[in-house]
Amino acid sequence: MQALVCDLCGGKLVMGTGGTATCDSCGMSYSMERMKEKIQEIQGIVRIDHSPMIDNYLQMAQTALEADNKGEAETYANKIIEIDPENYQAWLIKGKSAGWQSTLQNPRFSESVTGFAKALQYAPEEEKDALAQDAKDEIKSMSQALISLRAERFIKWPDKEETEGFLSDIAEILKTMAGFLTQTGLVIPLSEMMAPLATQINQAVVQAWQKTILPAYQEERYPGKSEWQTFIERIQYCTTLVDKAIDLCDEDDEEDISRYENLIFLHKQAMKSAAWDYEYLDFGTDKWQIAANERNVRSHGFVPDADHSRYWHKTYQLSDEAIRIRTLQVTVYETKIKRLKEKKMQQEKEEKEKKMQQEKEEKQRRFQAYWEAHADEHEQLTAKKEQLEQQLHSLKQEENQQIGVLQSQIPSLSEHPDMQAYDRQIRNARETMGRLGVFKKREKKELQERIDSLTQARAQTRNQLQKEISALESQMASVHNQFAQKCEPLQNELLQIKKELTRER
């Protein structure tokens, strides 16, 4: 008779008590009824239809899964797989239920990945894409749940064990992603997986600081050595985790800025922290003596406490070298923040320019599409536009011609013959008067009277010419107004056509 083998892995079945069997490879257990069925199948005696039982188990498994009873769901899924090792729905439920039963001490992500891989292997082609996305989403959700559990513990106990636990959890999640890729060939993008986890870790550090670390350090007004050392150790655990959060994802610059700011804050808190001790000093009862003692204590950098006749002083704090190293680290973080902000501004600028370009192209596309659909209207408007432009051009030419005729009639005051004659006579009279001797008073008087007469006549002639010029300018203004009245309706109509041809669609 053919050997009895495991439905799941093909391993050898080892018979147990009561007709049961166990696979010596994967550990799958088989009931007595199932062993009888397997023997009958091998001997060809009977082929049993298990579909009603499978459907029943499948419904119970799905109900248990939805009711958050993951253990029961896994049990029913295993029963289905025992009967039908290629039932993809059972493998999917097994993958989900196993993964969601993970604990910090016993993560079962590898079993979950195996279940998802088997489900994808046996699923119909038309369902594989949806199933693959479902599996990815489950792995992401389970990973976030695992980190959330660790975060709750770290907030209460921000110590070495929980810090190492965080790092171990991240390693387990990365291992799960690698296993999923190996078994299915599908990639879960690192940024999609790690960005939410980085946020959870950073938030856990913030809450641990606010709820546990700082209150414990400030419980006493002047913390002692033990409290201070614990405070420094916890700050180190926090900075380790925030550094890890930054390293997990390269595509969350905005969040990284906040994380670098948290690191700066933590380092500065460490640098200004200290352990305190006190010594007694008789402050006395005289208020002047008390004040003098307090000044004396403060001058040495100590803190007076007159009510208790003692003064406080720092006994432990970071060394100068440790402060120097942390200061340098703060400078590094500040530089990184500056670069990230510059990068963000550049990205925002590029995105804005890209958006504007896209909007411009979209407007142009709509514009072209509209006029392609209204080609006749566009042709009519264009023809009318050209007609109006030609009419306006003709009117402008006619206006320029008429104004040109009027402009040609405007006399030039400096070149007018009468004005030139007066200027010449006045100039000659002055030259003649300038040649007369001192004793030619009568002749000089006559010449001056002539000059005055010529100047008056010249002014009258100039006024007359100016009136002629004003009259011609009035005629030109009138011509311009007449043509403006003719052009105005044409220009308004042309403007409306241009608006219609160029407005957004």
Angle of helix 441-502 relative to helix 417-435, nearest 10 degrees? 150
Contact by Cβ (8 Å): 403, 480:
yes
Question: CB within 8 A of 472, min separation 6: which ones?
Answer: 406, 407, 409, 410
Q: Is residue 461 part of a domain?
A: yes
Total domains, the chain: 4
Domain that residue 4 falls in: 1-48
66 lies in the same domain as 117: yes
Do 43 and 55 belong to one domain? Answer: no
> Quick one: 71 and 148 in the same domain?
yes
In a domain, 18, yes or no: yes
Q: Are residues 39 and 96 in the same domain?
A: no
Asked whether residue 437 falls in the same domain as residue 395, the answer is: yes
Closest alpha carbon to 410 in 461, 468, 463, 464:
468
In a domain, 11, yes or no: yes
Whether residue 403 sits in one domain with residue 364: no
* Residue 447: its H or E element: helix 441-502
Within a domain: 386: yes
One domain, residues 18 and 80: no
pLDDT for 1: 46
Same domain, 16 and 87: no
This prediction's pTM: 0.66
Residues 368 and 469 in one domain: no
Question: Is the residue at 250 inside a domain?
Answer: no
Question: Residue 232: its pLDDT value, please?
Answer: 96
> How far apart are the C-alpha atoms of 503 and 498, rounded to whole Å?
8
Q: Which two tokens stand for residue 24?
A: 């010596």
* Residue with the two structure tokens 């922290």: 273
Residuewise pLDDT in 10s, the chain (505 residues): 456 777 666 678 888 877 788 888 767 787 877 777 777 666 554 444 557 778 888 899 899 999 989 999 999 999 889 888 899 999 999 999 999 999 999 999 999 999 999 999 999 999 999 999 999 999 999 999 999 999 999 999 999 999 999 999 999 999 999 999 999 999 999 989 999 999 999 999 999 999 999 999 999 888 999 999 999 999 999 999 999 999 998 888 889 999 999 999 999 999 999 998 888 777 777 778 778 878 888 887 788 876 667 778 888 999 999 999 999 999 999 999 999 999 999 999 999 999 999 999 999 999 999 999 999 999 999 999 999 999 999 999 999 999 999 888 887 777 788 888 988 998 998 888 888 877 788 888 888 888 899 899 989 988 998 998 899 999 999 999 999 999 999 999 999 999 999 998 8
Residues 6+ apart with CB under 8 A from 227: 216, 217, 219, 220, 275
Residue 90 included in any domain? yes
Q: Tell which of 144, 160, 188 closes a domain.
A: 188
- Answer yes or no: are the C-beta atoms of 167 and 244 closer than 8 Å: yes
- For residue 490, is it within any domain? yes
Q: Are 93 and 81 in contact (CB under 8 A)?
A: no
Task: Please state, in angstroms and rounded to a whole number, the distance separating the CA atoms of residues 170 and 185.
Answer: 21
114 three-state secondary structure = helix
Residue 125 sits in the same domain as residue 167? yes
- We report the CATH number of the domain holding residue 125 as 1.25.40.10
Domain assignment present for residue 243? The answer is no
Taking alpha carbons only, the member of 190, 339, 317 closest to residue 257 is 339
pLDDT computed for residue 46 by the predictor: 45
The verdict on 369 and 392 lying in the same domain is no
14 and 80 part of one domain:
no
Bridge partners, residue 162, by sequence: none
Query: Quick one: which of 99, 104, 184 has its CA closest to 142?
Result: 99
- State the SS3 of 252-271: CHHHHHHHHHHHHHHHHHHH
Determine the pLDDT at residue 24: 81
